[in-house]
Amino acid sequence: MSAASHKSKAEPLLPIDKAAERPLWVVLIIMAFLAALALLSARMGDRNYSALQSELAGTATLQLKGLTPNNRLDIAQQALSLIETTAPNVNAQRVNDADAAALIEPWIGSNVNNLPSGITLPVLISLSNSTASEREALARAFNAAAISAVIDDHSEWSSDLTRASRAFTIGSYLILGLTFFAGTAATIFSVQSAMSAQSKTIAVFAQVGTADNFIARLFIVRAIKVGAAAAIIGALGALLFLALFRVLRGPSENGLLPSLTPTLFDIVMLGALCLVFALVCAVAAGVSAKQILSRSRLYT
């Protein structure tokens, strides 16, 4: 066999102790997984909140009060006619009795056909494509027609939803920041351990006049490789976790459960997250290596 065909694999200037490096891999993969999951959670939370706000915009529920079993259907018809006359652009639809009964079932039980005396099945009318001024006009029209009605524009629920969404988003980004901080700390600790283990090799580099930037670059390159690989594994793990969670949760029949399907832009954001994660590891490695070299006075 010729010498040209028999080429030995080039050894790195700083030998890699894979056994000692294994804990760093585990920590960085977990950190990247949590960072990716936090990013996806924040983006999906914002997207689902926007979708709910869009659905709630212009919607309201009108409840007719003071009804009796004898006049509830007549008053319901009068209310629908009054809505059509007062606000023709508003879409009004009466909630069927089965759905209305389901709303009061927790208090009166399932036997809605035999309600106690004095309790009448409520009449609810859902309003959509309505504005605040139209709802105010409807309230005045019902008052003038001597029909007792309450219009709920869902503002209280929307306010609660806004606060919950804001808290969830802030919490997700806070977790994202903490995972980056933990990844940085793990990288710094790894560089310190590696430089301690390779102190004799580094001392030889210094004695032959090797610049500190060159020595630090060896750790930077290794850190960016480990950080990028760990970030990719963690991001893929987060996607698999969401897919498994979707399967275990099952489909949403009423549309109230949030969508857990990542978009193409979410995937792009995960790619950017992997890049930033690797760069953070590289910067942490470079800064830590230079500080240790400066304190040790290994170069002139």
Q: How far apart are CA 255 and CA 264, in angstroms?
A: 22
Identify the residue whose tokens are 């005045």. 140
Backbone angles phi, psi at 124, to 5 degrees: -115, 140
186 Cα distance to chain centroid: 25
Q: What is the pLDDT of residues 265-295, one digit of tens each?
A: 989 999 999 999 889 888 888 888 887 777 7
Weakest mean pLDDT among 7-21, 141-155, 212-226: 7-21
Side-chain-side CA neighbours of 235 within 13 Å: the count stands at 21
Q: What pLDDT shows up at residue 33?
A: 92
Give the residue extent of every domain in the chain.
18-46+173-294, 60-153
The residues pairing with 93 across neighbouring beta strands, listed in sequence order, are 126
Both tokens of 239, joined, read 């996607």
C-beta of residue 187 within 8 angstroms of C-beta of residue 281: yes
Weakest mean pLDDT among 144-158, 172-186, 189-203: 189-203
Which has the closest alpha carbon to 280: 217, 227, 208?
227
Chain-wide mean pLDDT for the chain? 78
**Domain 60-153, what fold?**
Alpha-Beta Plaits (3.30.70)
Residue 185 is which amino acid? A
Q: What is the pLDDT of residues 82-127, one digit of tens each?
A: 888 888 888 888 887 777 777 666 666 666 566 666 666 778 888 8
Q: What is the pLDDT of residues 228-265, one digit of tens each?
A: 999 999 999 999 998 898 888 776 555 555 667 888 89
Both tokens of 27, joined, read 């920590």
Percent of the chain with pLDDT over 70: 80
Q: What pLDDT shows up at residue 13?
A: 61
pTM of the predicted model as reported, rounded to 2 decimal places: 0.67
What torsion do the CA atoms of 251, 254, 260, 261 make, to the nearest 10 degrees? 80
Q: What is the pLDDT of residues 192-205, one digit of tens each?
A: 777 777 777 777 77
